[in-house]
């Protein structure tokens, strides 16, 4: 229906009745306007779709109530610390791969779509909350299940008449598990805060200076200052925003590499060449330009959704062509320009070096990096609400892939099934399998 609308209306907005009711589909050329106009509200979209006033939905609530604290923390503290957290990501990746995939040189099988989110949860938690909680199995379970339970509950609640929701939400499948995740998550975060406070108070009595904690608990507190805020809610929101999208991206990238051994070889050779020369320096990942191009092509060719930049209008908006969008309309910006033949030659073909070639053109070096957002590249959104954590997510995926490709060979265990969709959302095949085996690596990553 969406692509029929794109063809029929030739660059103009149109409406479809989606799984959540009427959606106004804006072609990608409207991305700049929507991203820069405060009348298109991201917070009201969260209010409408993720029920922040109900128990269990503390993550979405924190993303609205504490938006400034969260975005500032991610944009400044986390992004500025990328060079410092590389060692932690490498250490946790090495441990996680050993635990999950082992050291067997014989071919084995795995359903990687089921493993990607737990793997990313472990890596992200190491950076967000430190090594103690990265080893806490219950927190890692929550990091994976909270978003799943929230999506299940939200989808079902949207199909219930608005007036009935306050009375029936407790009986919706998934809500009890969601609520338990939120309660258990709050207990774990509170216990960790108390543990750190006890250490600080004890050191203070002894006259010992306590260094600031370089993770999200410490960063949130620094940014908030004296302002009261919900630490546990912020952590659940961070988990919701980071882990599952990054896990899906890692999975899609690995399946693409497993599908074509030659691409896998070329990307691995670039990794080895850069790391052998530079080690894990700040600029090492930047120098892996083929890897960056490949990941951006995955984002273009295998989007998690046909839409991006979901908003709700706070008031009626008159578009330049005279179209009036009513107050309360749900807006979604299409990723149709990902297939724009004016910008992309042979857009229907997956080309891992596409953006590497585009970046090599005079003056284009910075315009086609994976983390660069334009109307032709909306995987991370656009404008004020473009994903603030995309710099960390990019580094995390690249580091994970470095370890996975240099330490293991990968191939498809069986032909991939066609993609299937829930509305505009692409749902990965949880049963899709990869084969892997331990290989003799060209360099010892743990000594770099």
Instruction: Show the tokens assigned to 33.
Output: 């306007």
Output the CA–CA distances (angstroms, integers) from residue 249 to 141, 244, 315, 379, 398, in the order listed: 20, 9, 35, 10, 11
Instruction: Identify the burial level of 262 via C-beta atoms within 10 angstroms of its C-beta, where 0-12 means exposed, 13-18 middle and 19 or more buried.
Output: exposed
Q: Which residues of 206-242 are buried (b: 16+ CB within 10 A; e: fewer)?
A: eeeeeeebebbbbbbbebbeeeebbbbbbbbbbbbbb
Q: Is 430 left (phi over 0), alpha (psi -120 to 50) or beta?
A: alpha
- What is the rounded CA–CA span in Å between residue 439 and residue 59? 41
Output the CA–CA distances (angstroms, integers) from residue 22 to 14, 209, 304, 312, 423, in the order listed: 10, 57, 20, 12, 12
Residue entry with tokens 């995926």: 397
Instruction: Identify the burial level of 331 via C-beta atoms within 10 angstroms of its C-beta, where 0-12 means exposed, 13-18 middle and 19 or more buried.
Output: buried
3-state class (DSSP) for residue 32: helix
- Angle, helices 112-129 vs 82-101, to 10°: value is 140
Q: Is 130 left (phi over 0), alpha (psi -120 to 50) or beta?
A: left
Q: Which of 277, 309, 282, 264 is nearest to 405 (CA)?
A: 264
Is 338:377 a contact under the CB 8 Å cutoff? yes
Residue entry with tokens 């930049």: 309
Strand-pair partners of 15: 24
Contacts of residue 310, defined as CB under 8 A and 6 or more positions apart, other chains included, come to 42, 45, 49, 330, 331, 332
Is 146:164 a contact under the CB 8 Å cutoff? no
Alpha helices in 102-136 (DSSP H): 112-129, 131-134
- What is the rounded CA–CA span in Å between residue 189 and residue 195? 10
Output the CA–CA distances (angstroms, integers) from residue 208 to 58, 193, 258, 415, in the order listed: 36, 19, 52, 60
Instruction: Show the tokens assigned to 236.
Output: 């659940």
Is residue 234 annotated as involved in ligand binding? no
Which residues line the annotated binding site? 387
Binding region for heme = 387
């Amino acid at each position: 229906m969406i692509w029929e609308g794109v063809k029929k209306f030739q660059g103009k907005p149109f409406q479809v009745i989606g799984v959540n009711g009427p959606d106004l589909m804006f072609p990608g050329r409207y991305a700049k306007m929507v991203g820069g106009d405060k009348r298109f509200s991201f917070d009201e979209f969260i209010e409408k779709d993720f029920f922040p006033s109900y128990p269990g939905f503390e993550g979405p609530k924190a993303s609205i109530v504490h938006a400034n604290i969260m975005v500032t923390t991610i944009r400044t503290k986390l992004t500025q610390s990328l060079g410092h957290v590389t060692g932690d990501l490498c250490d946790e990746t090495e441990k996680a791969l050993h635990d999950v995939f082992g050291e067997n040189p014989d071919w084995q099988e795995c359903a990687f779509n089921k493993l990607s989110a737990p793997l990313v949860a472990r890596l992200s938690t190491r950076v967000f909350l430190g090594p103690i909680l990265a080893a806490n199995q219950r927190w890692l379970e929550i990091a994976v299940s909270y978003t799943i339970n929230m999506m299940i509950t939200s989808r079902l609640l949207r199909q219930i008449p608005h007036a009935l929701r306050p009375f029936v939400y407790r009986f919706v499948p998934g809500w009890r598990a969601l609520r338990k995740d939120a309660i258990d998550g709050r207990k774990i975060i509170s216990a960790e805060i108390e543990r750190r406070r006890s250490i600080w108070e004890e050191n203070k009595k002894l006259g010992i200076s306590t260094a600031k904690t370089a993770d999200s608990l410490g960063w949130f507190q620094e940014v908030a200052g004296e302002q009261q805020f919900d630490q546990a809610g912020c952590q659940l929101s961070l988990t919701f925003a980071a882990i599952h999208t990054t896990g899906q991206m890692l999975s899609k990238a690995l399946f693409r590499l497993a599908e074509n051994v030659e691409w896998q070889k070329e990307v691995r050779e670039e990794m080895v060449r850069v790391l052998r020369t530079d080690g894990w320096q700040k600029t090492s990942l930047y120098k892996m330009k083929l890897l960056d191009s490949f990941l951006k092509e995955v984002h273009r060719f295998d989007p998690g959704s046909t839409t991006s930049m979901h908003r709700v209008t706070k008031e009626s908006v008159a578009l330049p062509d005279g179209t009036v969008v009513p107050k309360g309309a749900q807006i979604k910006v299409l990723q149709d320009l990902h297939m724009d033949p004016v910008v992309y030659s042979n857009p229907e073909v997956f080309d891992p070096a596409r953006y590497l070639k585009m970046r090599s053109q005079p003056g284009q070096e910075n315009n086609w990096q994976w983390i660069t957002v334009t109307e032709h590249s909306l995987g991370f959104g656009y404008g004020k609400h473009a994903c603030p954590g995309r710099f960390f997510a990019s580094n995390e995926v690249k580091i994970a892939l470095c370890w996975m490709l240099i330490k293991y060979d990968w191939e498809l265990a069986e032909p991939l099934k066609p993609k299937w969709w829930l509305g505009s959302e692409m749902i990965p095949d949880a049963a899709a399998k990869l084969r892997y085996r331990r290989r003799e690596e060209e360099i010892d990553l743990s000594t770099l």
